[in-house]
Structure formats: C-alpha cells, structure tokens
Structure 1
C-alpha cells in the first residue's frame, strides 16, 4: 500500500473517531442539562438525573401538574372557608315589639281575686286586689284617656274610695281604686306605664291595697276578669 493510501485510511479513522466523540458528547450534555433542569424545579427532589430529554420533560410536567393541583385545592379550601363564615354570620335580631300593655304595679302580692265570694262585697268580687303598702306607685296599663278621677270612686260610689277610670284604645276600661292620691284628671291623655296614682286604703277597704278592674263600660257592673284579659294581651302575673 502506498504512503498516500495509508495516510488516507488513517485520516478517515480519525474523522470517524472524532464524530463518535462529538455525538457522545452531545448525548452527555443533553442528559446533564435535563438533570440540572429537573433539579432546578422547586419542591422536586431529584435522586438521579434523567437519562434522556424526553424523561426530563416528563418529570417537569409531573411537577407542574402537582403544583397546579395543590393551588386548586388551596383555592377551593379558601372559598369553602369564606362560605362557611358567611353562613354563620349572626343576623340582626329584630327588636321585640311592645304589646302596649303593662301591669298596674311593679311589685305586689295577689290577694282577693275576680268573682271571689265574701262578706266584703254586695255580690262577688268585681276585680283583682293587689296587696301593697300605701303610697305604692300605680301605673296605667295602656294608653288612653282618663274618664273618671277623684273621691267617691270617681262617681262609682264611696266603697271604692279615691279612684281612676281610663278608657283604652281597644274600647275597654281600666279602674284603679282605694287610692291615697290621684295624679291625673278627667280628659287627660296617658301612656302605658305612666304614673296615675298612689295606692292607699280609702273607701271600703280592710287594709292597704289596689283594687283593679277591667270593664266593658266606664261604670260599675260591667267588669270582666282582669287577669285573664291582661294575659290575653301579653301581660302575665
């Protein structure tokens, strides 16, 4: 073989060797690049470098999918918490409406009751008695207009002593008797709970107390059960 042929054969071998080396180098670089990219993914621990570019892409896609899933779960949890908070928010409680009726006294002890029989009355008792000391404040049970006020039962007779009768907006009348002092006058407008008199022991009375009636008219003889009436308008004893 000539020197030229030998030289040419050697050159071809050298070229093939360099080509293989270059190709191998590219493969190594690609593998290392993929491994570095995977290791750079936040929250992803790489135990070994992927051997191919395709495998590296697969690892990154899996990491991104996991991150997206975690974000969606966090958003759903936040939305659920906001919904729960809204559902338990206390709604304003509507103010309780007043019935417009109150007791004639703030403190008392019940004594003789309506329709009770006894020697103190010509027939059965016409109202409800409240045992209280003389001078106890007496209140109007509801708004209305004073139609009777003064001694002699306000016109119903001496047995009642000093008395007051009030006509209410529903057409009923309330009567307060045996008073020591009258604080209102005929024609005066009064409100529920307003002071109208002081309790006493005047008239046909065996001791200090308030005699209280509910009437269908302003006059004696038209009384109904006062306790039952007040319970019917929301006032209990």
Structure 2
C-alpha cells in the first residue's frame, strides 16, 4: 500500500531539491573559478620567471661581450705601443741566448745584435741606471763598456744590460725613458766584431740573465 503525499509535503520537497541543485551549481562554479584562478596564477608565474631568466642571461652576455671587447682593445693597444722596445732599430740577430762555445765562460748570457760601431743604443724600458762604465760596469772586462738599467721595484723588478759599447751617455742614478738614447754601440771587451750584447736580468749582476728574446716577445715586441 503506497503512502499518500500531501500537497504541503510535495511543495517542501520541491523547494529542497531546487535549493540542493542551486548549491551544487554554485559549488561547481566556485570550484571552476578557483581552478581558473589557480591555473592563471600557475601559468603566469613561470612566464614571468622565464622572462627574468632570459633578461638576466642577455645582460650577462652583453657584459661578457663588452669585457671581451675591452680586453681585445687593450691587447691591440699594447701591440701598437708596447711598454718595452728593441735596444737598436736596424740590426741582425747574431749569437743567441744559451749558445755554447769558447767565447764565453759558460754559455752566452744574452742576445747579440750585429750593428756597426756608433749605432744608437736605446733604453728598452723606462727605469733607473744602476751600473754604467768600463770593466763591464763592474761585471768584468769581457763586457767592455756597459750599462745596467733597473725596471720596476720589488721582487718582480727586471734589469736590462747593454755591453761592448763605444760610448756611455748616462750615469748611475739617472732616470731614463723607453727609447731614450743611452749609449753608442761598439766593439769593446771580449768581442769578435761590432755588436750590442743585450741581457734581461732578475738582479743587476752577472749570472741572473734570462732569455731576452723570449722576454721581449712576451711583452709584444717584434724582433
């Protein structure tokens, strides 16, 4: 036997169904809006982050390119106008550093530049004259008339030596500039012919010479 529903009960049930349906739609719509908001937020954040990364990378690359350009410019400037120079302008390289033979007590301590007597000899770098005169300026008669110039200060200081000179034009304590005339080449001392004997040293004294050609080339001087 079925239960009879009164008109009032039917109306109440209808209202409840409509209300429930409305709440369901609202809930669904709310979830959809929230999902859209989250989706928009999640999608937007990576785009902003990617843009920042690209901008930062572009700035880094630009800074690196500018630094490389400045370095290349400095290198080119050094090659055009190096801080060191050749001690003579016109010459022929003769006896080289480390060469053995009866001409030297052990091995050749410098580089010889074959030039005529009276050729202008120039300071290879700015510095102060620490030795000048006969008897190798204190390093022995084999050098003849000689000059030693100090370049720089402290442990990294270097010394250039010029020997077999016919004339010394500077004195101890004198400041000289790169390219300044300091002597005239000759054939004094233990010499088999007119030339300039040139050394680069780590101290002012004999026995501390290094390869002068390698040194000058490392300073962008073409020989």
Using structure 1 for the length normalisation, give the TM-score: 0.59
Structure-2 separation of matches of 1:128 and 1:233: 16
Counterpart of 1:116? 99
> Tell me, which stretches of 5 or more residues in structure 2 are unaligned?
1-72
SS state of the match for residue 229, structure 1?
helix
Question: For this pair of structures, how many residues does the alignment match?
Answer: 145
Alpha-carbon separation, structure 2, partners of 1:157 and 1:233: 29
Please give the root-mean-square deviation of Cα atoms over the aligned residues, in Å: 1.5
The C-alpha deviation readout for 1:31-88, integer Å capped at 9, x for no partner, is xxxxxxxxxxxxxxxxxxxxxxxxxxxxxxxxxxxxxxxxxxxxxxxxxxxxxxxxxx
Aligned to 2:148: 165
Distance in 2 (CA, whole Å) between partners of 1:168 and 1:183 is 18
2:77 aligned counterpart, secondary structure: coil
SS at match of 1:213: strand
Q: Secondary structure at the match of 1:105?
A: coil
Instruction: Report deviation, 1:96.
Output: 3.1
| Superposition deviation, residue 106 in structure 1 | 0.4
Q: Does 1:96 align with 2:71?
A: no
Q: 1:106 aligns with which of 66, 89, 111?
A: 89
Q: Flag the structure with more relative contact order, 1 or 2, with Cα contacts below 8 A and sequence separation at least 6.
A: 2
Equivalent position of 2:116 in the other structure: 133
SS at match of 1:231: helix
**Which stretches of structure 1, 4 residues or more, deviate above 6 A after TM superposition?**
none
User: Structure 1: 5+ residue runs without aligned partners?
Assistant: 1-92
Match of 1:21 in 2: none
Question: How far off is 1:100 after superposition?
Answer: 1.3
The offset of 1:236, in angstroms, is 1.7
State the distance in 2 between where 1:177 and 1:99 align: 24
For the pair 1:203 / 2:189, whether they are aligned, the reply is yes
Bigger-Rg structure (1/2): 1
- Counterpart in 2 of 1:146? 129
Give CA deviations for 1:122-158 in whole Å, capped at 9, x if unaligned.
Answer: 1110000011000000000000000000000000010
Structure with a larger share of its residues in helix: 2
> How much does 1:99 deviate?
2.2
- Which residue does 1:230 correspond to in 2? 216
- Specify the SS of the correspondent of 1:96: helix
How far did 1:201 drift? 0.2
Equivalent of 1:192 in 178, 203, 208: 178
